[in-house]
Chains A and B, each alone.
Chain A
Amino acid sequence: MRKACLNSIFELAQMDERVVFIGSDLGPGTLDEFRHEIPDRFFMEGISEQNVIGMAAGMAMEGYIPFVNTIATFLSRRCYEQVAMDLCLHNLPVRLVGNGGGLVYAPLGPTHLAIEDIAIMRALPNMSVVSPCDAEEMRRFIPSTLEHPGPIYIRLAKGGDEIITSPVNNFQIGRAVVMREPRKVVIISTGIMTQRALKAAEILKAEDVECGVIHMHTVKPLDFDALAYAAQKAKIIVTVEEHLMTGGLGSAVTDYLASAHWERFPMIKKMGIPDVFPGEYGSQDSLLQSFDLTSESIAAAVRSSMVEN
């Protein structure tokens, strides 16, 4: 997914002279082709995220569209005031491309786990937050950023994730993708949790439980229409995210549902990471398993919700 993202940025830069790439201290050879072909608009600025964000803001004020890329934790926590003031307050078209959203860097420990990035980015006025689920979706998404007026936080997954979206799902920022039509149960997921949500729906189908799946690639602005539609049809909504349960997709969904005035309210079950810094290493998959974020646990959550309901 990261490769697809960076290549798409390069293609965009070839097409549009406003596109600039700024990295901090990325791996050797990153976007070499970009650097050779368009050296004037390729910057590698060292481990200085606060400066990089301000610099991107200055360029955006002059009409450029900078894509800033580094590890998600350092792009969200380290330079939060610069993101809030330089990008969001000025409402500038800077794109933050965060490597390793969620538990991707599991072996590296909590310093490298971006598990509150959606929450803190979502809290900022003018910021959009997008978490695609596969490389194909990423390829459709990047060109659509070109004319988006404000800042966007783009959460990258590990890569090699199963392709589940198709060109039929024309990408639009803020428009959810209905992967399976809403039924009595609807699973709402973002990022690579959508692959797991779909598998959970298949497990449940084998048990004659029909389950809708909505892929909420854009956590902000949230697709209220899709949510309202799901909430009207469903008795049970399960939100699933590779993120703390505080402030992420589940919170965004419940914030919206709590503000609506419906006679009937679906039961809501939030699935995500509890309020802890993960204390183990291993792999993304093994940590997801220890936080009960597998297809089987999603299916189990749906089953137990149905018993309660």
Chain B
Amino acid sequence: METEVELMTRAAQLSALDKRSMQLRGLVVRALVGGGRGHIGSSMSLIEILRVFYDDILRVRAGDPTWADRDRFILSKGHGCLAQYALLADKGFFSIEELDHFCRQSSFLGGHPEFGKVPGVEASTGALGHGLSIGLGMALAARMKKAAWQVYVVLGDGEINEGSVWEAAMSAGKHNLDNLTAVIDYNKIQSYGFTENVQPLEPLADKWRSFGFSATAINGHDVNALRQLLSSLPIQKGRPTAIICHTVKGKGVSFAENNPSWHHKSNLPPDQVAEIYDALERKT
């Protein structure tokens, strides 16, 4: 009999992608080509999560990225920034053409997102295990200010090997911060290989629950399910939320899916870029 994790993982693998999801993936590839490198696998698993956040959940203004009452969104797994750049460009925080300059010397779009450079980026991340603590501070600040905005932090599954994440989780639980949500991109692959072999995380939802969170698991490529869940937070009043998104690393590019060697790529030859575009075409 399949375990819940196996069932959810299979559902994520079988999830069909619509035109918008493929168009956003096209933007990721465009930036990848622009910079000649990038964490492609780590970005592709994030697309539906970020799409639903920016399309349906986050109260943010592209023309006024530091608007005081905005929701705070932190991509703690900063290496997945190609996905965030695609969404921010798509939403008009900056022009789509900027993606062509990804990682170039004078560009503001680096290999990890930086606060103060990229409109819409709340914190410089890239060193792992920092985002949840920063989000915790923001959520406590919202409480002190009696402000209504929400704080969302997206973490990688490999990232949560870091002990600092669990320090932050313990503190969020203690403070009953129901304005803070941690979203885990559980694509099951970290740099060296499968999380199950490098540092097993199960039982993952129970871990978060034991730190004082309300936790649930979801197919991280199911746009409707994500929309429904993210628009009805917190799961439980008086508790922070953890959402474990079962995803597929490299989702949308068939030959990169679930393949640890596609975590990061550099020096992609033109024919391989064409193959990626072909793979995306075939999915639509």
Of B133, B135, B141, B164, the contact of A64 (CB 8 Å cutoff): B141
Interfacial chain A residues near B137, Cβ < 8 Å: 54-62
Interfacial chain B residues near A40, Cβ < 8 Å: 144
Interfacial chain B residues near A61, Cβ < 8 Å: 122-123, 134, 137-138, 141
B contact residues, range: 20 to 34
Does B168 make an interface contact (CB < 8 A)? yes
Query: From residue A293, how far is it (CB to closest CB) to chain B in Å?
Result: 36
Does A63 make an interface contact (CB < 8 A)? yes
Interfacial chain B residues near A280, Cβ < 8 Å: none
Of B123, B127, B129, B138, the contact of A59 (CB 8 Å cutoff): B138
A57 to B, closest residue via Cβ? B134
A59 touching B124, Cβ below 8 Å: no
Does B171 make an interface contact (CB < 8 A)? yes
Does B270 make an interface contact (CB < 8 A)? no
Does A85 make an interface contact (CB < 8 A)? yes
Does A11 make an interface contact (CB < 8 A)? no
A62 touching B145, Cβ below 8 Å: yes
Interfacial chain B residues near A85, Cβ < 8 Å: 124, 127, 130
Cα–Cα, bound, A240→B36 (Å): 52
Does B192 make an interface contact (CB < 8 A)? no
Which residues B31-61 have CB closer than 8 A to chain A?
none
Interfacial chain B residues near A53, Cβ < 8 Å: 133
B144 touching A58, Cβ below 8 Å: no
B140 touching A55, Cβ below 8 Å: yes
Does B205 make an interface contact (CB < 8 A)? no
Interfacial chain B residues near A77, Cβ < 8 Å: none
Does A116 make an interface contact (CB < 8 A)? no
Interfacial chain A residues near B133, Cβ < 8 Å: 50-55, 57-58, 82, 86
Question: Interface digits, A70-97 against B, CB 8 Å rule (1 contact, 0 not)?
Answer: 0000000000011001100110000000
Does A46 make an interface contact (CB < 8 A)? yes
Cα–Cα, bound, A81→B127 (Å): 8
Interface centre among B115, B116, B124, B164, by most chain A C-beta atoms within 10 angstroms, is B164
B140 touching A58, Cβ below 8 Å: yes
Interfacial chain A residues near B29, Cβ < 8 Å: none
A58 touching B138, Cβ below 8 Å: yes
Contact residues of A: prevailing secondary structure: helix
B164 touching A54, Cβ below 8 Å: yes
Which residues B66-88 have CB closer than 8 A to chain A?
none
Of B115, B138, B144, B168, the contact of A90 (CB 8 Å cutoff): B115
Cα–Cα, bound, A51→B164 (Å): 6
- Contact flag A55-B134 (CB < 8 Å), given A63-B141, A81-B127: yes
Does B206 make an interface contact (CB < 8 A)? no
Interfacial chain B residues near A89, Cβ < 8 Å: 124
Does A161 make an interface contact (CB < 8 A)? no
Query: From residue A78, how far is it (CB to closest CB) to chain B in Å?
Result: 10
Interface centre among B134, B140, B168, B170, by most chain A C-beta atoms within 10 angstroms, is B134
- Contact flag A54-B134 (CB < 8 Å), given A48-B167, A81-B127, A85-B127: yes
Cα–Cα, bound, A81→B162 (Å): 13
Query: From residue A238, how far is it (CB to closest CB) to chain B in Å?
Result: 40
Interfacial chain A residues near B135, Cβ < 8 Å: 58
B171 touching A51, Cβ below 8 Å: yes
Interfacial chain A residues near B168, Cβ < 8 Å: 51, 54-55
Which residues B120-169 have CB closer than 8 A to chain A?
122-124, 127, 129-130, 132-142, 144-145, 163-164, 167-168
Which residues B250-278 have CB closer than 8 A to chain A?
none
A58 touching B141, Cβ below 8 Å: yes
B129 touching A50, Cβ below 8 Å: yes
B144 touching A64, Cβ below 8 Å: yes
- Contact flag A54-B136 (CB < 8 Å), given A61-B122, A85-B130, A86-B130: yes
A59 to B, closest residue via Cβ? B137
Of B123, B142, B144, B167, the contact of A51 (CB 8 Å cutoff): B167
Cα–Cα, bound, A85→B162 (Å): 15
B135 to A, closest residue via Cβ? A58
A59 touching B163, Cβ below 8 Å: no
A82 touching B164, Cβ below 8 Å: yes
A54 to B, closest residue via Cβ? B133
Question: What are 8 of the A-B contact pairs (CB < 8 Å)?
Answer: A45-B171, A46-B170, A48-B171, A51-B164, A58-B141, A81-B127, A82-B133, A90-B116
With A46-B170, A55-B171, A61-B137 known, 15 other A-B pairs at CB within 8 A are: A20-B144, A40-B144, A48-B170, A48-B171, A51-B136, A52-B133, A53-B133, A55-B134, A58-B123, A58-B134, A58-B141, A64-B141, A82-B164, A85-B124, A86-B134
